[in-house]
């Protein structure tokens, strides 16, 4: 019986989805699920529901619950991570403190101040899990669902464990493309590559016919452009369609959330279209609605068709050899040749009985790589900050963030970071007692004279006030 440890099993609905997908896969029927969360406030609900499904369908699966992570990992064949350090309480700080300074986020879990601080809370935990895996289940494969995906997987790429980061952005965007071009997604051949939440469909074809002319024509029509203003605008200017919605993408670039005018023009759609705090508002609503209530109590016990999540299909491929192609997040190491080797890249991967095999994509269009690099710069510094505990590196990461730098001065960024560190210190032990150094404003009196600085006469031509030497 294979053993699957789910770390963060208190994510009730998502955990239920993954377990049902696995139970609905005949080759994975004999599975022991070990549900781990820091408390037992939610995992008994998942355990009780799973046992009802097992009994109703005559399955050979088994479910156990623990609050001991090492117990869960011992002897695991697979590890699934889906935790959120600090929960909605920390998420509120990620959203509201930057908003006070003028940084308006819609999702706040991938880039921007929210994504950076979510990574600072989560990276030490994922690295502890990796260290435990090296000792307790060195041959296991970690399937990561924790955001910010690229930063988490960047950190994992510096460990010895086998891992892949999973997202549903590619498959849900393919559904969207299918609707736009009027061709079933099963008949579309595509290549998507880049970074998580900013992957680019570099090829979209059906029976050898390029579908991009149809897609471009659609996005010049107001009724289609209105559905995805931000993604549509980036598509029109950069030439390629990407994997994330207006709400997400508007945070990763400097153009759409920098002012109230830009927000009104591009991010006014309802239902996560880009409005301020959409994801935080939804998470708070769900948390309050189901507080003290067993959301799984009345769920049907028959096995539904498998969801769009990749997890069960990957496990099936690894167990049976039935090849499965998907887009995953791994250490780049040349998969995309014009992105840094050490970053986390998202691209085509094949799974079979021998493991996970990346595809060498080569170069993606230079303008797409350039936009990825603006995010990779932030990711690099955030991972470094999370591991080093250096608060100055957080300031520098936020200063390079496209949205934050479009709105705030360097001094304002420093003040925002300091306030966020103070507010979130209980989840950031690596920064205990450490804060960004203060940088008081230097006031220049109106009558001050510029200081005379000696300069080599031979170099005077390069000075703004220098005279040409003869």
> Which residues are annotated as catalytic?
168, 252
Name 232's Cβ contacts closer than 8 Å, sequence gap at least 6: 219, 224, 225
Calculate the alpha carbon distances from 457 to 415, 452, 464 in Å. 41, 14, 13
Q: Is 227 annotated as a binding residue?
A: no
What three-state secondary structure class fits 70? helix
In Å, how far from its chain's centre is CA 154?
11
Name 426's Cβ contacts closer than 8 Å, sequence gap at least 6: none
Burial of residue 26, with CB atoms counted within 10 A of its CB: 0-12 exposed, 13-18 middle, 19 or more buried:
exposed
Structure tokens at 69: 């992570």
CA distance 316 to 320: 6
Q: Is 147 annotated as a binding residue?
A: yes
Range list of H helices, 81-148: 87-101, 112-136
In Å, how far from its chain's centre is CA 112?
11
CA distance 8 to 35: 8
Burial of residue 138, with CB atoms counted within 10 A of its CB: 0-12 exposed, 13-18 middle, 19 or more buried:
exposed
Q: Is 144 annotated as a binding residue?
A: no
Q: Long-range contacts made by residues 167-170, C-beta under 8 angstroms, separation at least 24? A: 167/196, 167/197, 167/327, 167/329, 167/346, 168/308, 168/309, 168/310, 169/196, 169/197, 169/199, 169/243, 169/244, 170/199, 170/243, 170/326, 170/327, 170/346
> Hunting for tokens 């189901």 — which residue is that?
290
Give ∠ CA 19-321-72 in degrees, rounded to 5: 35
Q: Where are the beta strands (DSSP E) in 258-309?
A: none
Work out the widest C-alpha separation in the chain, in whole angstroms. 95
CB 145 within 8 A of CB 15: no
CB 154 within 8 A of CB 343: yes
CA distance 183 to 119: 38
Name 266's Cβ contacts closer than 8 Å, sequence gap at least 6: 229, 230, 233, 246, 250, 256, 274
Annotated binding-site positions = 147, 167, 197
Annotated binding-site positions for Mn(2+) = 167, 197
């Amino acid at each position: 019986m294979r053993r699957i440890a789910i770390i963060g099993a208190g994510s009730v609905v998502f955990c239920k989805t993954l377990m049902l997908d696995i139970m609905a896969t005949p080759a994975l029927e004999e599975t022991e699920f070990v549900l781990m969360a820091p408390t037992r406030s939610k995992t008994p609900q998942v355990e009780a529901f799973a046992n009802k499904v097992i009994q109703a369908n005559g399955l050979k699966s088994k479910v156990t619950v623990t609050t001991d992570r090492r117990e869960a990992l011992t002897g695991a064949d697979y590890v699934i991570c889906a935790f959120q350090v600090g929960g909605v309480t920390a998420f509120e700080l990620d959203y509201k403190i930057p908003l006070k300074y003028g940084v308006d986020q819609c999702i706040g879990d991938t880039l921007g101040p929210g994504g950076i601080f979510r990574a600072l809370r989560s990276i030490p935990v994922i690295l502890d899990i990796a260290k435990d895996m090296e000792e307790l289940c060195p041959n296991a494969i970690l399937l990561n669902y924790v955001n910010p995906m690229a930063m988490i997987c960047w950190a994992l790429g510096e460990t010895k464990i086998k891992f892949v980061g999973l997202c549903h952005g590619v498959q849900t965007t393919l559904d969207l493309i299918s609707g736009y071009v009027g061709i079933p997604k099963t008949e579309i051949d595509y290549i998507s590559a880049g970074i998580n939440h900013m992957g680019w469909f570099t090829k979209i074809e059906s029976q050898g016919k390029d579908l991009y002319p149809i897609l471009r024509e659609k996005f010049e029509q107001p009724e289609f452009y209105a559905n995805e203003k931000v993604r549509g605008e980036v598509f029109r200017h950069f030439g390629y369609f990407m994997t994330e919605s207006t709400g997400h993408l508007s945070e990763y670039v400097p153009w759409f959330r920098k002012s109230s005018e830009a927000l009104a023009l591009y991010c006014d759609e309802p239902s996560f279209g880009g409005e301020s705090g959409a994801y935080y508002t939804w998470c708070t609503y769900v948390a309050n609605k189901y507080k003290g209530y067993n959301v799984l109590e009345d769920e049907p016990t028959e096995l539904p068709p498998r969801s769009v999540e990749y997890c069960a299909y990957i496990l099936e491929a690894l167990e049976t050899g039935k090849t499965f192609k998907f887009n995953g997040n791994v250490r780049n190491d040349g998969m995309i040749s014009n992105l840094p080797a050490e970053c986390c890249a998202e691209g085509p991967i094949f799974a079979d009985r021998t493991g996970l095999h990346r595809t060498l994509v080569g170069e993606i269009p230079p303008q797409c790589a350039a936009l990825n690099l603006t995010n990779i710069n932030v990711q690099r510094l955030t991972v470094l900050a999370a591991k080093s505990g250096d608060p100055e590196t957080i300031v520098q990461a936020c200063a390079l963030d496209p949205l934050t730098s479009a709105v705030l001065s360097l001094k304002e960024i420093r003040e925002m970071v300091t306030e966020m560190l103070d507010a979130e210190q209980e989840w950031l032990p690596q920064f205990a007692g450490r804060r960004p150094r203060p940088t008081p404003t230097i006031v220049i009196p109106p009558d001050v004279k510029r200081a005379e600085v000696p300069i080599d006469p031979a170099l005077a031509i390069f000075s703004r006030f220098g005279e040409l030497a003869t």
